[in-house]
Amino acid sequence: MQYLHAALTETIMLYPAVPVDPKICFSDDTLPDGFSVKKGDMVCYLPYAMGRTKFIWGDDAEEYKPERWLDGDGFFRQENPFKFTAFQAGQRICLGKEFDYRQMKIFSAVLLHYFVFKLSDDKKAINYRTMINLHINGGLHVRVFRRQGN
């Protein structure tokens, strides 16, 4: 399911479950770019912003474009996790990543096969609640229709 894997990855890049991930410095340190931090400082990386940054992804960064993840033969192309940071990177990368893709694929394949989802009110503005997980303010209300022929 190469295209579905790409579509889910693109979705997580634009709408990461953890949009901002804070860390606290245990000691004074100097970051690789020369920036100094003090013990107790908070340093955050921002998967939400990084996933929409033109400098990182090109001019079409804010477009929903699963194809960016596919090579010329339609196979999913992994990105460096320090570039696609929605699951964090390095030794503390999300342990549930593969399990999570499997769950998302099973749910998408089954639900989208049988049902069509539409926003209850497509005129209503969709805003986020700023917190460690990406929440939609007031929830995202949808109507579910049985797909024709299923």
- By the rule CB under 6 A, 84 interacts with ligand HEM: no
Residue environment code for 38-50, b if the CB has 16+ CB neighbours within 10 A, otherwise e? eeeeeeeebbbeb
Is residue 107 involved in binding ligand HEM (CB under 6 A)?
Answer: no
- Count of residues in the chain: 150
Structure-token match 């410095």, residue found: 25
Which residue, 91 or 150, has its beta carbon nearer to ligand HEM?
Answer: 91
Told to check if 7 binds ligand HEM by CB under 6 A, we report no
Q: 110 to 139, contacts with ligand HEM by CB under 6 A? A: none
* Tokens, residue 71: 């090579």
Phi, psi of 99 (to 5 degrees): -60, -40
Task: Choose the stretch contacting ligand HEM; rule: CB under 6 A; options: 10-18, 48-56, 106-114, 120-128.
Answer: 10-18
Q: Is 94 within any annotated ligand binding site?
A: yes
Secondary structure class of 25 (helix, strand, coil):
coil
Contacts with ligand HEM, residue ranges (CB under 6 A)? 12, 16-18, 21, 86-88, 92, 94-96, 99-100
